Amino acid sequence: MIRPTRVLPVLLLAPLLLTACGSEKADADPASGSSTRSAEAADQGELDARAQALGIAPELVYVTEAPGFSLARQSVGVLGDDGFSATWVSGETGAQLRLSVDRGSITAATCPGQPVGDMSGERTTCERDGDAWYRTGAGRHEYAVLEEGHVVRVSGEADAVPRDVLREAALAAHRPDAAEAAGLLPSAEPAPSAPVERGDLPPFGDGAPDNSVDAGG
């Protein structure tokens, strides 16, 4: 005798169906933003690698802006042990703004002994201007802004760059976002995955180059 198949009432099945649907929807919910965070982390990792390839500490990379001045990308490089340096050039006059970031600090006592630019031994005149120092010496002037553990400086020739332009560029200096850093730092060259093979090495012996010549050569 064949037993009839039992069928659960629809009212009993309904809660099970609703629970299953709710669980599936929660697992597929894309609102967590994890993919966005992963992409941002990947971008930051690439930018850090670009800085480190130049010997620059990523946290010392800054960017600025000044009307009429454009970044000279070939000027981007390391300063000191792991600092940062770059130059912006005026398209009209050729005047240069140099942005440099290095570890250290400036106080009223130490400011006069720190040269402006690369002219060591020159006496520096220091003037407090808000949260920054305005410094002059050796035909140059600069604004120095103190950050945590490092100093951001924007300098130029005193007779080529007006003080107000220098000040605005110094106050505009900031840590770059992903787009700014991508335009500032050159791409890191990947290391070769395998040794480069020379075509003149024989496949036997100690691998010395084969410089033998034919008879009569």
pLDDT digits (tens, 9 = 90+) for 133-189: 999 998 999 999 999 999 999 999 999 999 999 999 999 999 999 899 999 998 876
44 domain-assigned: no
Domain ranges, residue 131: 58-184
Position 111 in a domain: yes
- Nearest 5°: the CA angle 24, 26, 32 is 140
pTM of the model: 0.69
> Is residue 97 included in any domain, yes or no?
yes
In a domain, 15, yes or no: no
Reduce the DSSP state of residue 135 to 3 states and report it: strand
Task: Name the DSSP letter for residue 121.
Answer: T
Give which of 21, 34, 55, 160 is closest to 97, Cα–Cα. Answer: 160
CATH of residue 134's domain is 3.30.200.100
Cα distance between the two ends of the chain: 104
The span from the CA of 120 to the CA of 118, in Å, is 6
DSSP state of 85: E
pLDDT of residue 3: 42
Based on the structure, what is the number of domains in the chain? Answer: 1
**What's the pLDDT at 28?**
41
Within a domain: 195: no
Could you tell me if residue 115 is inside a domain? yes
Assess if residue 205 is contained within a domain: no
pLDDT band with cut points at 50, 70 and 90 for residue 212: low
Residue 82 domain flag: yes
In degrees to the nearest 10, what's the CA dihedral of 110, 115, 120, 121?
-60
